[in-house]
Chain A
Amino acid sequence: MGSSSRSFDVGDVHSAVVVEGLTRTQIVQYAGASGDFNPIHTDEVFATQVAGYPSVFAHGMLTMGMTGRMLTDLVGDGRLTRFGGRFTSQVWPGDTLTTTATVTGLDERDGEHLATFEVATANQDGVVVFSGSAEARVDR
């Protein structure tokens, strides 16, 4: 529960499991909360018989949301100044995802200390599903 910041050094690698065995129920929960009810995410019949996928799969934004949780746990609440990336592979029910954040830089801007991170979330087979970067205000 990140509530205060900590200090970082360039090259530090932090990682955390952000979901273990993703459930269809959590995907449905995300559909309800986000408002994205695309049936490729929530409707197995549609996803398999019409869209041609092996099963439903997670919203990219669910993966990014879980990735963001790892970052806010790491840097503290309300401290992100930038967070972005690409969805590089699909996330399926049952997947276990691990987010790794590597400190790539420390800067000072307008009197604030900022840390930049390279961010990657990978599944249980090591396939990267989200790849991006972030910047956060840190104490030093």
Chain B
Amino acid sequence: MPADTFPVEAGHVMAFARAIGDFNPVYHDARAAAASEVGGIIAPPTFVQASAHFDDDYPLRPRPGVRWFGSGRFASGTAEADRDDGATKPASDRGTGLHAEQHYLYHRPIRAGEVLTLNVSPGATWEKQGRRGGLLTFREVTIDYVDKDGDVVVSARAVSVMTSQAVRD
């Protein structure tokens, strides 16, 4: 389950903007942002993706009590790693989950300091034979990010795809 709530913190917005190479002061400089057209620090257009941090069960982050599938001394899923940590489940039979599409509708900018509530609606699932990645399974999900007045601020529709092998360009 995605997070129920997403507190939008100024430091998080700054770190996210840096990571996408966007040094626009409206994302990190409170004084400059206050003097700008939007009147305060806002989040970049793709920031809601970072709500994953507030999802307790998000699988793409190491979590307590769950074996992580990245490498330590050896790459997980290799025979050496299995001997090293006694694990039996190889990682290599999983295929790879990739992001295929992302679509946002913006009703107003997200502002630092507000707390958004997530309203998640699963969409369609379908399969397709891929040219490069074997059998592809697509899954759609829409998340509405709702403010304290109950208004949708951003609606985010994602399509992810599970490939049965590594994608070859």
Contact = CB atoms under 8 A, between A and B. Distances in A.
Are A and B subunits of one complex?
Answer: yes
Interface of A: 1-4, 18-19, 26, 29-30, 32-40, 42-43, 45-46, 49-53, 59-62, 64-66, 68-69, 71-73, 76-78, 80-87, 89-90, 132
Given A36-B60, A72-B45, A26 B69 contact: no
B91 interface: yes
Contacts of A35: 50-53, 55, 58, 60-61
Contact of B45 (A1, A33, A38, A71): A71
Best-buried of A3, A50, A81, A85 by chain B (most CB within 10 Å) = A50
Nearest to A76: B37
Given A43-B70, A45-B75, A72-B44, A77 B36 contact: yes
Given A35-B55, A49-B78, A77-B37, 18 more contacts: A3-B24, A3-B37, A29-B19, A34-B49, A36-B61, A37-B62, A43-B70, A46-B70, A51-B166, A61-B46, A65-B16, A68-B46, A69-B21, A77-B109, A82-B103, A82-B105, A83-B45, A83-B103
Interface residues of B, number: 57
A37 B19 CA distance: 14
Given A60-B99, A69-B21, A80-B45, A45 B38 contact: no
